[in-house]
Amino acid sequence: MGILIGDENWKYKGLFKEVFLTVLPHLNYMKKPSKIFLGVKKNNLKAKDSFKKVGFKIFKKRNNSIIMVYDLLNKFHDIKRLILGTAQLNNKYGHFKNNLNSKKKINELLSLSKDYGIDTIDTAYAYKNLDLIKKSNFISKFKIIYKIKNLSEFDYIRKNKNFFRKFEIMIHNENFIKDITEIKKVAKKTNIGFSIYSANNLEKISQYKFINILQVPINIFNQEFLMKRNLKILRKFSELHIRSVFLQGLLINQNLPKKFGKFKNIHSSWFDWIYKNKLNPINVCLNYVLNKNKNDKIIIGVNSSENLKEIIQNLWIKNISIPKYFARVDKNFSKIENWKKL
């Protein structure tokens, strides 16, 4: 690595740390280096101090210079654990501005996801955007997790299966439990999972041995599935997909929509704690779920390619202690299925 600050006015202001820690996650996932080396003169004490502060260590000493090394081992979460959610693609979804409203922008997002190493997409018949998604030049690079509510919706994916490298079915209708054996007869060798909002039917779903994937909401405000009795059942499934990690953006956006006005105090408390401890809300939310179990995957929703880059930039592994009072948030705010009542 070579370093050049072109403007003298920017020297000795800590610029290296800011730029290095911003660029490194992108470099890590795009190029996959295991180590980064740099050289510095022995008498350049300020530079050596800057490099040590971000994690560089002395590798080799020479007559007038030192070679320093930065080891990337265990610095970042495995990118394969990220699943790209597509509810925002060409849809008015969530409470914040969405820029994924054209084939060009969707293509750019999928291309970028592929370059970073994300290899799975989560979509649903209800999103009504699969026809647009499958026109992407990169769709064949992804595995598709397809959510359905009934057998007729499953027919759509069967007719379009030639567009996809691989797909799995996720049942997104808890009333469909009684008919679940029917879809297994039709789906045959296809992996089948269940996507649920609450833990009410968790034990009943776990009784079907052919269901090996479960998709549930978990975030700092909604910890229902982390209760001991629920967590014990969750671990029976071979794969767990966690969604609503950012609570549809409310945990990472300081601007609270008017609809949630009566929850302003807890929302403000969250961001007060974040900034008091000099944390990034995206990084905190990601680490909260990714640190629970190394085999779990998370579904990330984004509203632009820049938003995806921001998430990638915050995949640093950190152990962060979350105040217990954030687990006691009003369920009308923490559980998305209750928002219709507001």
Q: Which of 1-10, 22-31, 149-158 has the lowest mean pLDDT?
A: 149-158
Give SS3 for 77: coil
Structural domains of the chain in order of their starting residue, each with its CATH number: 8-71 (3.40.630.30), 79-341 (3.20.20.100)
Who contacts 2 (Cβ-Cβ below 8 Å, separation ≥6)? 38
Residues 329, 266 contacting (CB under 8 angstroms): yes
Residue 86, both tokens: 């597509």
Residue 122 and residue 145 in contact, taking contact as beta carbons nearer than 8 Å: yes
CA distance 62 to 68: 11
Mean pLDDT computed over 250-269: 96
Any idea what DSSP says for residue 6?
-
Residue 22: C-alpha distances to residues 281, 313, 314 (Å): 15, 6, 9
Whether 160 contacts 130, CB under 8 Å: yes
Rounded Cα gap, residues 92 and 82, in angstroms = 23
How sure is the predictor about 260, in pLDDT bands with cuts at 50, 70 and 90? very high
Q: For residue 113, is pLDDT > 80?
A: yes
> What's this model's pTM, rounded to 2 decimal places?
0.91
Give the pLDDT of residue 128: 86
Residue 104 scores a pLDDT above 80: yes
pLDDT at position 163 over 70: no
* Mean pLDDT, rounded, for 272-293: 96
Measured from the Cβ of residue 237, the count of other Cβ atoms closer than 10 Å reads: 19
Q: pLDDT-based confidence at 164, cuts 50/70/90?
A: low
Residue 290, pLDDT above cutoff 70:
yes
CA 305 remoteness from chain centre: 14
pLDDT at 322 over 90: yes
Give pLDDT tens digits for 169-192: 888 877 777 667 777 776 677 788
Helix, strand and coil in the chain, % to nearest 5: 45, 20, 40
